């Protein structure tokens, strides 16, 4: 990285590690490292959630005024320039007498951006680090800022002839243990997991991420779409994070989920819900497990997508192909991600 010292490169990598200690939610995950003029680490900090000190302020709070004066602050996100629940980080850095600021991703907010410019105007040396790595750290949060909704992954498993179940409705198991283990990792990697009420009534799913050897794996919040109620005996009532209910107006419900701090949603609710998200143009990524088996019959993996002619087909970009035991994993993105 041009203009960045070795100590600052190391601090940038460390700041990204620190950022991941913070929770995912309405605010981005941000980490900060403060270096002395000779490159020694003086303090570290990260953002612990809405209403708590931002990463820069958290790190500065661990220093004396003499230690902070003339130091370099290395941050994963451009210092903010507005007053919300907390004051502007750019001002905090100026008040502390920091001489140099190295940051990665630019702040995309209309109100909160401009911190780098403010610092530079006040005489602080401001340097941009690797923007791509900084943006990758908060890619899902940036997606929410751009669209107002979580990034949506729609998942399904199907036979080679496109069926999700046999003619009698039975579907356990189309895929093998390797594919099913991969699904649990995908669940854990998302903030929330969505099913329809039909799936809850028919299958009584747990919707937990069960990963061998990882009893403390992150758990997605279940979201049940539909108008019918969830029975009191349903397994969802025993989910470690409880569950949310949502109606049929998908876009409005997605906006509400984003406002609640959900950045990614894993749709695992059967053909009706999967098709609804795709039909509405709200599916950003597709994860499909192809099993080398034939079922025939009417139980197709997707319902009507609103495609009347070949010119209306929904073209995808395949981003990954992988063999999982006997099954094939296909990952693709839709036009919203291209």
CB contact set of 322 (below 8 Å; sequence gap of 6+): 328, 329
How far is Cα 84 from Cα 87, in angstroms, rounded to an integer?
Answer: 6
Binding-site annotation: residue ranges for substrate: 171, 187, 203, 207, 210, 268
Alpha-carbon distance values, 171 to 153, 166, 300 (Å): 21, 6, 12
Sheet holding 41-46, edge to edge: 41-46, 31-35, 72-77, 100-105, 125-128
Catalytic residue numbers, as ranges? 56
The neighbouring-strand residues paired with 333 are 285, 317
How far is Cα 87 from Cα 236, in angstroms, rounded to an integer?
Answer: 40
Binding-site annotation: residue ranges for NADP(+): 157, 173, 199, 270-276
How far is Cα 312 from Cα 305, in angstroms, rounded to an integer?
Answer: 10
DSSP letter assigned to residue 47: -
Binding-site annotation: residue ranges: 54, 80, 89, 157, 171, 173, 187, 199, 203, 207, 210, 268, 270-276
Of 191, 155, 152, 192, give the one whose Cα is nearest residue 282: 152
Specify whether the CB–CB gap between 63 and 69 falls below 8 A: no
Binding-site annotation: residue ranges for Zn(2+): 54, 80, 89
R_g of the chain computed on alpha carbons? 23
Alpha-carbon distance values, 265 to 111, 224, 228, 260 (Å): 27, 12, 21, 12
Residue 79 burial class via C-beta count within 10 angstroms: exposed 0-12, middle 13-18, buried 19 and up: buried
CB contact set of 96 (below 8 Å; sequence gap of 6+): 60, 63, 65, 68, 69, 71
Sign of torsion over alpha carbons 68, 72, 74, 80: positive
For 8, the enclosing helix (H) or strand (E) is helix 6-19
């Amino acid at each position: 990285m041009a203009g960045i010292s070795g100590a600052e490169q190391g601090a940038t990598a460390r700041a990204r590690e620190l950022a991941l200690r913070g929770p995912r939610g309405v605010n981005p995950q941000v980490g900060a490292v403060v270096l002395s003029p000779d490159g020694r680490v003086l303090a570290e900090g990260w953002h612990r959630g809405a209403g708590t000190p931002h990463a820069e302020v958290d790190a500065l709070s661990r220093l004396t005024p003499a230690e902070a004066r003339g130091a370099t602050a290395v941050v994963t996100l451009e210092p903010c320039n507005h007053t919300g629940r907390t004051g502007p980080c750019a001002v905090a850095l100026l008040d502390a007498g920091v001489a140099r600021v190295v940051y990665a991703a630019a702040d995309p907010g209309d109100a909160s951006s401009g911190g780098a410019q403010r610092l530079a105007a006040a005489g602080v040396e401001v340097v941009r680090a690797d923007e791509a790595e900084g943006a990758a750290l908060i890619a899902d949060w940036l997606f929410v800022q751009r669209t107002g909704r979580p990034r949506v992954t729609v998942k399904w498993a199907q036979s080679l002839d496109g069926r999700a179940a046999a003619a009698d409705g039975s579907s356990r198991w189309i895929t093998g243990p390797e594919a099913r283990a991969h699904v649990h990792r995908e669940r854990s990697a998302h903030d929330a997991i969505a099913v329809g009420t039909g799936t809850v009534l028919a299958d009584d799913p747990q919707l937990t991420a069960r990963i061998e050897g990882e009893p403390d794996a992150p758990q997605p919040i279940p979201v049940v779409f539909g108008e019918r109620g969830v029975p009191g005996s349903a397994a969802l009532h025993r989910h470690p994070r409880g569950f949310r209910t949502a109606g049929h107006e998908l876009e409005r419900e997605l906006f509400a989920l984003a406002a609640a701090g959900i950045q990614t949603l894993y749709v695992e609710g059967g053909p009706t819900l999967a098709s609804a998200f795709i039909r509405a143009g709200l599916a950003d990524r597709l994860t499909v497990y192809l099993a080398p088996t034939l079922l025939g019959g009417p139980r197709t993996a997707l319902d009507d997508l609103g495609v009347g002619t070949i010119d209306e087909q929904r073209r995808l970009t395949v981003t990954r192909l992988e063999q999982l035991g006997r099954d094939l994993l296909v990952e693709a993105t839709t036009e919203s991600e291209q």
